[in-house]
Structure 1
Amino acid sequence: MKYVSTKDIIVRIDRYLADPRLDAETQLRKRWAWIWMVVTCVFVAITSFVELVILKLWPIWWFGFIFWAGYLIGFPLYRRMKRFDLVINILFTVFIVAALFAMLQTGGISTSLGFIFIGMNCAMGSMLAGNLRWTIGMFVTYCVTIIILGLFQSSLTTPEYITPRVNTLSFVGLTVWINACILLIVILFMKDKSRYEKSEAEKLRKIDEAKTKLFTNVSHEFRTPLTVIQGIAEQMEQHPEKWMQSGPGKIKMQSQLLLRLVNQMLNIAKIEADEMHLELIHGDICRFIRYVAGTFQSLADSMKVELILNQQEDPIYTDYDPDKLMHVLSNLLSNAIKFTPPGGLVCLEVSIAPEKNKEVILISVRDTGRGIPEASVSKIFERFYQVPDKHDQTSGTGLGLAVTYELIKLMNGKISVESREGKGSVFTVLLPVSKTAEKAADHGVSMISSETAHAGITKAKADDRTYDTDTIQAEKPVLLIVEDNKDVVEYLQTILQKEYNLEIAPNGEAGYEKAMEIIPDIILSDVMMPLMDGFEMLEKLKADIRTDHIPVVILTARGDFNSKLAGLAIGADHYLIKPFNEKELRLKLGNLLELRRKMQKHFGTLPFQPQDENSSFKPEGLFIKRINALIEKEMGNEDFGINDICFSMNMSRAQLYRKFSAITNNSIGKYLRSFRLYKAKELLENQGKNVTETAFETGFKNLSHFSTCFHEEFGFSPNKLVR
C-alpha cells in the first residue's frame, strides 16, 4: 500500500478547495476551517452512534439529524462560495441554538450530557474563518445560551433516561472532544505564528537585498556621469582654450542625469512617507504631451528610432500635474526608445475613452523593441526590479517604472503593460478627467525643460567615426575603444589620441566585429552596453585564435568585487572602475604595451625556441607553435606560402599579418624564410647534408637563390658548413 504523507493530504485538500477569487491568506483560512468541520463531523458521527446505539438516548435523535442536515447543506456551499466564512458561521450558529434546546430538554447545565461544550466548540471554530465580527457574535450567542439556561434552571426537570452514569460518560466524551479541539486551535495558531515570523524574516531579507541592489545600481549609474564631469573638469583646467566652450554644457548634461537619479530616490521616499502631493492645473493635456514628446525627437533620431505621436486634433481639457505627468511620460518614452533597436518604431497615442459611465484619458506608449519576458511582466513595476536579459545590457536602478506606477496611482489612474518577447511592448495609462483646478495659460509647458525631460538617457549612439586603416601611423599602436556613452568616448579620445591611433565601437557587438577586422594592439572596453556587453565580447575574443593575444582593459561603472572577479576570470588584463584617474589609465595601457614588446622580443628572435608550458605568453606560444608545425610539415614544398598558412589558420591575410606582427614584431613572410634557413643550417651542421640536398629539403629549388638568402641571414655562405 502506497504511503500518503501529511503534505500530500494537505496538497489534495488545497486542490479540492482551490478558489481563484481568494488570496493566499484567505485560502489558508479556508483550509483550516474545512479541516475543523471534517473533524467535528467525524466526532458527531461517533457520538451519534454511542448515544443512540449504546446509551439508548433516542429522545434527542433530532439533534443529530440537525447536525447531519446542516453538514450536507454546508459542505457543498462551503466549497463553492467565496464568502465561506458566512457558511461556517451561520451553520455553527444553528448548532449553538440547537444545543440550547437540547440542554433545555435534558434538564439544564448539570444534566446536559456535555452539550454545553458544543456551543463553545462552535464559537472557537468560528475563529478559524477569520471574520472577527462573526467570531465575537458567536461567543456572545453562546454566552446568551448559558444565561438563558441559568435563568430557567429552577423550572427544568431531568428526564428519567438521563442517569448519572449516562450523564458522566457523555460529559467525559465531550470534555475530551473540546480539549482536542482546543489543542488543534493552538497547533494551528502556532503554525500561523511560525509562518508569520518566517514571512516577516523573508520580507526583511528582501528589503535588505533590495537596499543592497539599490546602492549597487545607483553607484553604477553615478560612476559614468562622474567620470565625464571629473574628466572634463580636468581638461578645462589643463586646456581652457579648447574646453571652455563645450565643457560647461557637457558637465551640465551629466549633472542633470545625476539630479534625475537623486529625484527618483527622493520621490520613492516621499511616496513612502505619504508626502507626495498633486499640484494640479487645468489645461489642454494634448498640447502638453505634444511638447514633452517633442523633447524626445532628437534622442530618437540619435538612436535611429522613429517616434510617432497620434492624438486627436481637438484639445482635451482636464486637470493634471505637469511635473508628475512629465516624469511618467519621460520614463515610458525613454525606456521605449532605449530598448528599441535602430530602425524600430515608438508610437505615443492620446485619446478619450469611456470607462464605467465616465470618460478617461488613454495614453499608450507602443514600441517594436525586444519586449519583456512573460515571467517578468507581473514584476515590472516592482521597486528595484530589472528584467534579466543578456542580449541588451543597459544599466539602470530599477526605480523608473516603480516611480511611474506610484505617480499614476497618486493621480488616481491605472497603468498596465502588454508585451511579447521579441515583438515589443505596450504601456497603457488611464487618467480620470476632472475640471476643478485653476486654468494655466501655457498648459504647464513652462514648468518643465527639455533637459530634465529626457536626462534619463544620455547614452545615445557613440561616435560612429571610423579611421582608414591604410593611413594609420605605423609608429602609434592601435587602440580600440568600445564604449556606448558619447561623452566618455570624447573624453577618452582627448586624453589618448596623441599616443594611440584610435578606433571606436559603440557596443560589444560592433567592438567584436571591429577587433576581428583590424586586430588592434589593445582594447579598452565598457561592460554595460546594448546588443552585446563587454564581458560577452571579451569571452568571444579570448576564445578566438585570431584575437586571443590582444590585451583588454575593462573600464566600467560596475565596481563590485564579483564583477571584477568575473572580468579577470574571463581574461581581462586590467579592471578599472569609473570614475578613473587619467594617469592610472595611461600607466596601465603603457605597461601592457611594454609587456607586448617583451613578448615580441621573446618570439621574434629565435624561431625554434621551445615554449614553456607555464609561460605567461601561453596563447601566443601555442599560435607560434602551430605556425611552426605547418611550416615544418611543408618544409620541402617550395609552393607553400602565406596563403596556405591563412587557409590552415582560418584567417584572412590582413588578420594574419596583424596578429603575427603583434606577437613577433616581424612579418610572416620574413619569418617563413628565416624558419627554412635555420632548418637548412641545422641540416648542414648536424646531419652532414650537402648544399643541394639541404636546399631541396627546405623548399629552395634554386641553389643560387638559396645561397643568397643563406648569406643574408647568417653572414656566410652555406658551403662553409659542408664537411
Structure 2
Amino acid sequence: MYFGSVNGLISFNPDKFIQNNYQPPIYITNIQINNQDVSVKKNNSPLETSITFSENIELNNQQSTFSLEFASLSYTAPEMTKYWYKLEGLNENWIPIGKNHKVSFNELPAGDYTFKVKAFNSHGVWSNENSSLKIEVLPPFLSSNLAYAFYAALLILIIFFLLRYYHRYNRDKNNLRIQQLENDKEKEIYQAKIEFFTNIAHEIRTPLTLIKSPLEKLLSLKYNSLEIPKNLGIMERNTSRLLNLVNELLDFRKTEMKHVKLSFVEVNISQLLEETHIRFSQLIKDKNIHFDITKKEKDIYAFVDEEATRKILSNLFSNAIKYCEYHVQVQLEKTEDHFRIIVQNDGEKIPLELKQRIFEPFFRVPGETKKSGTGIGLSLAHSLAELHHGKLFINSNNLSLNEFVLQIPLHQDNEFRAFKNQPKEVKESDEIIRKFDNDSALILVAEDNPELADFILNELSEKYNVIVASNGKEAWKAICTYEVDIVISDVMMPFKSGIELCKEIKEDIDKSHIPVILLTAKSALNAKIEGLESGADAYISKPFSLNHLQVQISNLLQNRKSIIGHYNSSPLAHLKSLSLATSDKSFISKLDQKIDDNLKDTNLNVEMLARHMNMSRSTLYRKIKDISNLSPNELINESRLKKAAYLLKTSNLKIYEISEKVGFKSQSSFGRSFQKHFSMTPSEFIDQDHNI
C-alpha cells in the first residue's frame, strides 16, 4: 500500500506487519478517598507504603467511598488498551470499563473485598498478570464485634436482673402474704385475749362488788378501837380502786367497739403531762435516755376526758421511749383554739409512706418486730384523739426526727363545768410529825401515796418516832433538820426518786451512817441490784408484810446497838469496827488516824479534833454521836484506854510509861479511869490468862 506525503510516497505491505504479543503488567497507581488523594503515613491514612506496592488496605466506615487508578505498562498504542475489573465480595463478574483506567466505589458496606483488574491491548492480547488489592472496610463502632459483645453482655445482665427481680417480687409477695396471715392471726389472738379479759373482768367485778358492800356496812358501824375503821377504810378505798380498774378494762373494750362516750371536764394539761413523765421516770432512767419537757406556758387548761388523755399521753411516751436511741423531746404549746403536744424521738425514721398506716390497728413498722408490742397503742391513741374532735399525726416536715403531734381543741361541745375535775397537784407538802419520845428511834417515811404513808405511820408510831414526807425533796429536808435513825423510802416519788435520795444520803459524810430501806413495786432482780448498789441497807418489794418491815427496822437498830456495845465493852475493839456502811469507812479511818496521831497530847479535845477533821464542832459531835453513841470527848477517852489496853498486852512498857504515851497526866488518873471503864486495874488486866 502506498501513501502520498509532502516528502514523497510511503509504502508498506500489511502482510509483513509484526503482531504485538507483549503482555504488559498492570499496577494500581493511585487511590482517592472521598475525592481526596491519600498520602502515605498521614493522619487517618490507610497506606503504610505506596498504593502500588500495597497488597491490602484497611478502611474505616468513614472511608468507604473511594476510587482506584491503574495502568498497563505498555508503550505500544497505550491509548488503545481496554480494561476490565471486578470487586470480589461485591460482584463476581468482570466489568468492562473500556479505555478508562479509573474506577470508583460509593459507601461500600463493611466487609472484606478483593479488587482485581486486567487489560486487553490493541492487538487483542490479554495481560498475563492481573493486579489485585485486598480491601477491608471496617464497620462503625455500633456494628463492631466489640459492640456486639457488649450487646450480648447487656442482654445477659438484663435477663439476669429480670429473673432476679421476678424472684424477689415473688419472695416479697409471699412474705407479704405470710405477714398478712400472721397479722390476721394476731388479730384473732388479740380478739380472743380481749374476750378472755373482758369475761374475767365481768367475773371479778361481781366478787369485788360483794366485798365492797359488806365493807361499806362495816364502816357504818361504831368501834371502840380507832384502828378498825381506819384499816377498813384502807380496804374500802383499795377495793374501789380495783373495781375502777376493772371498769376501765371494760371501757377499753368499748373503745375498740366504738361504744365509748367521753366526759369533758376542765383539766390542767401541764400537770397531766408532768404526772405522766413521773410515771415513766424509772423507765427513762433504766434506758439511760435524755428526756426533755418544754412548756411555753406554766398551766394550760382544756376540756378533755382526763383518763382518755392520760391513755393518749402514756402511749405516746411509751412509744417514744421504746424506739428512741438517746433523746426524747416533748413540747406543750397553746393556740387560740387548740393545745398541741409534740413528742419527738431520735429513733429510726418512720418511712413517709407509712405515716398513715402507723395508726392502723395491729400495724407495726417492718423491721421493728423484735421489740415488744401489739400494734394497738397508737391506734387507740388516734381513736381517742378523734373522739376529742382532735387529731394525732406524724409531722413529715421533720426530716431528722420522728415527730408525733397531738392537737385537741381547748373546748368541746358538751362540757361539764359543774363537776370540774380539780387537778391533782404534785406539790411539796409539809411533813407530818408526831410528838417525839426521846427514848425511841426516829424514822423518816418517804412515800407519795398518802394512804400507804398514813398506814405505815400509824403502825410504826407505837414503837418509834415517825416523820412522813410525800416526796424525795421533802424527805431530804427532814433528814437535814432532824436526827433521823432510819429512812424508809418509796423508789418512785416526785421531784426526787428513792434511789436518788439514797445515793444523796450515802454520799453525804454527815448522814452516810443512816440506814435506808427502799420500798418498791418492782420485783425484778436488776431493780433490786440497782437499789442495793445505791447504798440501801434493805430492799422490800410491794406488796409487803408490815411484820417484815418492822423486823427489818428492828434488826438494823439492834445491829447498830450490838456494834456500839461491843466497842464499848471490849478493851481491844478497834474504832473501825463501828463502820457499818461502806461510806462511813473513810470517815472512821480518818478519825482513827487523827486520834492516834494526837493521843499523846493531854490537851486533845473536840475543838482540836474538829480542826484536824476540817469539820465544825457541831457537825463532828453529831456524826460521832450517831455512829458510836458517844460524845467526842468520851470517844477520845475510850481511845486512850483501848490504846493503853493494847500496849499493856503487846509491849513490855511500865504502866506509868503507857499512861504518858496515851495522854494521861498521871498514873493514878489513868488507873482510876481504866478500872472504871473495864472494871479491873491495869495490873489485873495484864495478869489475865486469856486475850480479849
The TM-score, its normalising length taken from structure 2, stands at 0.50
Higher helix share: 1
| Higher fraction of strand | 2
Report which structure shows greater RCO (CA 8 Å, sep ≥6): 1
TM-score (norm 1): 0.48
Q: For the pair shown, which has the larger CA radius of gyration, 1 or 2?
A: 2
